[in-house]
A and B are shown apart, each in its own frame.
Chain A
Amino acid sequence: MVEFGGWDMPVEYSGIIDEHMAVRTAVGLFDVCHMGQIEVAGPDALAAVQWISSNDASRLAIGQIQYSALTTAGGTFVDDILVYRMGEQHFMLVVNAGNIMKDHQWIVAKVAEHGGDVSVVNASSRYALIAIQGPMAERVLQALTDIDLAAIKYYWFGHGEVFGVRVTVSRTGYTGEDGFEVFAAPAQAERVWNALLEAGAGHGIKPCGLGARDTLRLEASMRLCGSDMDEGTSVVEAGLSWIVGWKKDAFLGAERLRAQKAGSLERRLVGFEMRDRAIARHGHVVMDGDAPVGVVTSGTQTPYLKKSIGLAMVPVALSAPGTSLIIDIRGRRVAAEVVPEPFYKRSQPA
Chain B
Amino acid sequence: MYPTDLKYTIEHEWVRVDGDDAAVGITDFAQKQLGDVVFVELPDVGRTLTKGEVFGTIESVKAVSELFSPVSGIVVAVHDALAAHPDYVNGQPHETWMIRVKMSNAGELDALMSSTRYDAFIA
Contacts and interface: CB of A to CB of B under 8 A. Distances in A.
Interface stretch (B58-66, B100-108, B112-120): B58-66
B2 interface: no
Contacts of B39: 277-279, 301, 308
Nearest to B62: A211
Interface size class of B (residues with CB under 8 A): 10 to 19
16 contacts: A12-B62, A15-B36, A16-B62, A17-B36, A211-B61, A211-B62, A215-B61, A277-B39, A277-B83, A278-B39, A279-B39, A301-B38, A301-B39, A303-B36, A303-B61, A330-B57
A236 B59 CA distance: 33
A16 B35 contact: yes
Contacts of A319: none
A17 B61 contact: yes
Interface size class of A (residues with CB under 8 A): 10 to 19
Interface in B52-96: 57, 59-62, 64, 83
Contacts, number: 37
Contacts of B38: 279, 301
Interface of B: 35-36, 38-39, 41, 57, 59-62, 64, 83
A281 B61 contact: no
A211 B35 contact: yes
A32 interface: no
Majority secondary structure, B binding face: strand
Contacts of B41: 277-278
A17 B91 CA distance: 14
Nearest to B38: A301
A308 B41 CA distance: 14
Q: For B35, B39, B60, B62, which residue has the most chain A Cβ atoms within 10 angstroms?
A: B62
A267 B104 CA distance: 52
A300 B36 CA distance: 12
Contacts of A308: 39
Contacts of A16: 35-36, 60-62
B77 to A, nearest CB: 19
Contacts of A278: 39, 41
B61 A301 contact: yes
Nearest to A300: B61
A223 B36 CA distance: 23
A281 B35 contact: no
Contact of A301 (B57, B59, B83): B59
A16 B36 CA distance: 7
A279 B59 contact: yes
Contacts of A12: 35, 62
Contacts of B62: 11-12, 16, 211
A12 B36 CA distance: 10
* A-B interface, 8 closest residue pairs, ranked by CB to CB distance from nearest: A301-B38, A16-B61, A17-B36, A211-B62, A279-B59, A279-B39, A16-B36, A15-B36
Contacts of A281: 64
A328 B87 CA distance: 25
